[in-house]
Structure 1
Amino acid sequence: MNDQTYEDAYRGWQTSLTTLLADAALLARWQERRYHFAHRVGTLLTDTHGDGPAVTGPVLYGVFAAGAGLCYVGQTQEAERRLRDLPVGESHHLANTVPPELWERVVVIRWPLLLPAAPANEQLVAEEIGPAICGLALEHALQVATAPPLNSRRRRTSGDWQPRNLAQSRSRGAIHSQSVPGLSQLALGVWATLSEMEPPKHSAAVDTEMGRAVFPSTLHEPLNT
């Protein structure tokens, strides 16, 4: 995309929003429509689905958009709260930059279920450092392996962005990720599976034993019956 096409698209976005927010009634309609969509996505990410249990506790997650592909990788210890908020954006920046209406896929990994298959020494390490630090370690390993653009820069108070060298990070997650390489590879294997799944014909989500993939893009049209 050249600069002129980009600027035209940006102006088109502004024009569309100006139309959608032209008066108080339209603003309320816009607010209701956006929250309705975000609520549907949050429900799919967390509630029971088919034979799959509700998504709770520690998880890794990633958001994909059409065109850009993988945008963001994160982790939380409270999936039941954080994943509901993710598309709403009240306490997470992602939805402010990439609206959930443009999300193609969200991948969620229930990583504690991978621990029994991890090397015995890594199981001990995971128990010693606890789920919070272990979640950060796995998040770091996944970010290094996939290089999502929204994790690869940080905002600066000067109003611009600074690149982040994830591979050379000295964060707690980076330091401890070196202690759980086997568990990280297991998580990457589940990630690859969920990232490549096709949307099911009769649903906007699919569960596996270790995770879930949700397809917000399918919610714009009636689901096939």
Structure 2
Amino acid sequence: MDDLSEQARATEQVHEDAYDAWRSSLATLLGDAALLARWQERRYRFAHRVGALLTEAHGAGSVTKGPVLYGVFAAGAGLCYVGQTQEAERRLRDLPVGESHHLANTVPPEVWERVVVIRWPLLLSGAPVPEQTEVEDMGAAVCGLALEHTLQVATAPPLNSRRRRTSGDWRPRNLTQSRSRGAVHAQRIPELRRLLLAAWQTLSEVEAPAGEAIAVTDVGRVVFPSMLHKMHGG
């Protein structure tokens, strides 16, 4: 028991030291008005590059727009967050900037290892006709929520697994017992869910092409911010 306590204290100290080093580094980077401007420009330049790779046409891949599911991985932590949008062309550009999305505030894009994007409507042709009719009946917005719920339950990303509370702390979310619209409607599309999880597994394991920070497939793309940072810096 003492050994476990000692290990916990050591882990906590490492965390505190890293946090202090982070604050100290920021104090240096924001040391005066000119440095602040330089920091702002550098961060936006990198975020803009990531956003462009997530959305713009690349090689045989067309512009990413409309409904998608996406997931962000960081080195060490692995999959951090799973989300969905009906406006990929806007939402994915904003994702690394963080102006209307909380993710980049907690996990900066400079430490993202990969971002997986699935254009789930492209999976529909592989689903049975009755399920295609179900999707048409429920609409793309509700289907996107259903698929998002499916993926969150299957992968349990830490940033989707808790909610902030007004008291300043967090409470766990029991995704498997959710009665949200997505959870309720997910049961209507079992084969589409299976196709989604198979596509997710494939894209999650894609390697970055030599000299590239993006891999494009027939149902989506994988962007590698960590590779982009190595190639171009911040």
TM-score range, shorter-chain basis?
over 0.9
Given residue 79 of structure 2, which amino acid in structure 1 is its aligned partner? L
**1:165-180 paired onto structure 2 within 5 Å:** 165-180=174-189
CA distance in 2, matches of 1:51, 1:210: 12
CA distance in 1, matches of 2:18, 2:190: 43
| 1:188 paired to 2:197 | yes
Given residue 64 of structure 2, which amino acid in structure 1 is its aligned partner? V
| 1:199 paired to 2:208 | yes
Partner in structure 2 of residue 99 of structure 1: 108
CA distance in 2, matches of 1:221, 1:83: 21
Partner SS state of residue 142, structure 2: helix
Given residue 37 of structure 1, which amino acid in structure 2 is its aligned partner? F
Q: What RMSD in Å do the two structures reach over aligned CA positions?
A: 0.8
Q: Which of residues 155, 160, 168 in structure 1 aligns to 2:164? A: 155
Runs of 4+ in 1 over 3 A off after TM superposition: none
- Greater Rg by CA: 2
| Structure 1: segments with no counterpart, 5+ residues | none
| 1:9 paired to 2:18 | yes
Task: Report Cα offsets for 1:80-128 as digits up to 9, x if no partner.
Answer: 0000000000000000000000000000000001111012211110000
| Structure 2: segments with no counterpart, 5+ residues | 1-9
Partner in structure 1 of residue 71 of structure 2: 62
| 1:76 paired to 2:122 | no
Task: Report Cα offsets for 1:10-43 as digits up to 9, x if no partner.
Answer: 0000000000000000000000000000000000
Given residue 178 of structure 1, which amino acid in structure 2 is its aligned partner? Q
Given residue 217 of structure 2, which amino acid in structure 1 is its aligned partner? T
Partner SS state of residue 162, structure 1: strand
CA distance in 2, matches of 1:111, 1:222: 30
Partner SS state of residue 179, structure 1: coil
Partner in structure 1 of residue 62 of structure 2: 53
Identity, % of aligned positions: 73
CA distance in 1, matches of 2:128, 2:176: 23
CA distance in 1, matches of 2:128, 2:148: 19
Given residue 154 of structure 2, which amino acid in structure 1 is its aligned partner? A
TM-score by length of 1: 0.98
Deviation at 1:222, TM superposition (A): 2.4
Deviation at 1:203, TM superposition (A): 1.1
Number of aligned residue pairs: 223
TM-score by length of 2: 0.94
CA distance in 1, matches of 2:159, 2:128: 32
Deviation at 1:202, TM superposition (A): 2.1
